[in-house]
Structure 1
Amino acid sequence: MKRLDPAKTRAEEVMTPGVVYCRTDETIEDAVHLMDQRKIRRLPVLDGKKRLVGMLSLEDVAHGTSLQIVGEMTRAVSNHHK
């Protein structure tokens, strides 16, 4: 693996391309399924004008939803890190 100098390397050189996001009016279940499909832990949340209004994390889901959804997210994360 090539080691880049963080003082000289631009974010675009190491970022994952493509932005995956959900909208404020989507259900948590839909957001969780998207996170599972894309194997991501954080999901930007956009409003109707496509403005960033927040970030949905696995921790947010765990604290605010049912055990079924939390279990689904736990499986998704553990499968991603095997």
Structure 2
Amino acid sequence: MNIKDIMSTDTQLVSRDTSVAAAAESMSRAGVGFLLVGDDDQLRGTLTDRDIVLRVVANHKNPEHTTVGEILTDQLLYCRTDQPVEEVARNMSQQQVRRMPVLNADKRLVGVVSIGDIAQHLTADLAGEVLQGVTAEFAAA
């Protein structure tokens, strides 16, 4: 089974010029803690609720005057639609990420996959291994 078979095509994409306050409101409305940042279907980075807390709130920045582009994570970790689920699961575990953008062969954003989406399609042993890797960063904190 490949990622294209389980990914979500309902993605939340915001511009780098969006205020952090507006991005947080989008997260709240959608009930998510993760947004993709880009222009049209060109991925530029990601923004998490954790990014907002650590880079805005903890530094006493004004979320109305701080843009997403100032605080986004621009290290682009992504997977491809044709990658096997097990391969992506291991990569997510190694990178300690819970969500990953999905790009097509033309490197255009087509969806997002979460560890929850993937775990349903793994053996119990592999699911346990992957979840342990993904949650390792939180245990250390």
TM-score normalised to structure 1 length? 0.86
Q: Report the counterpart of residue 51 of structure 1 in structure 2.
A: 108
2:67 counterpart of 1:10: yes
Q: How far apart in 2 are the matches of 1:6 and 1:63?
A: 37
Segments of 4+ in structure 1 off by > 4 A? none
Q: How far apart in 1 are the matches of 2:122 and 2:90?
A: 14
From 77, 86, 105, the equivalent of 1:20 is: 77
Deviations 1:34-76 (A, max 9, x none): 1112111101111111111110101101223322231122201
More strand by share: 2
Q: Report the counterpart of residue 30 of structure 1 in structure 2.
A: 87
TM-score normalised to structure 2 length? 0.53
Q: Report the counterpart of residue 128 of structure 2 in structure 1.
A: 71
Q: How far apart in 2 are the matches of 1:31 and 1:41?
A: 11
**Superposition RMSD on alpha carbons, in Å?**
1.4
Which segments of 5 or more consecutive residues in structure 1 lack a partner in the other structure?
none
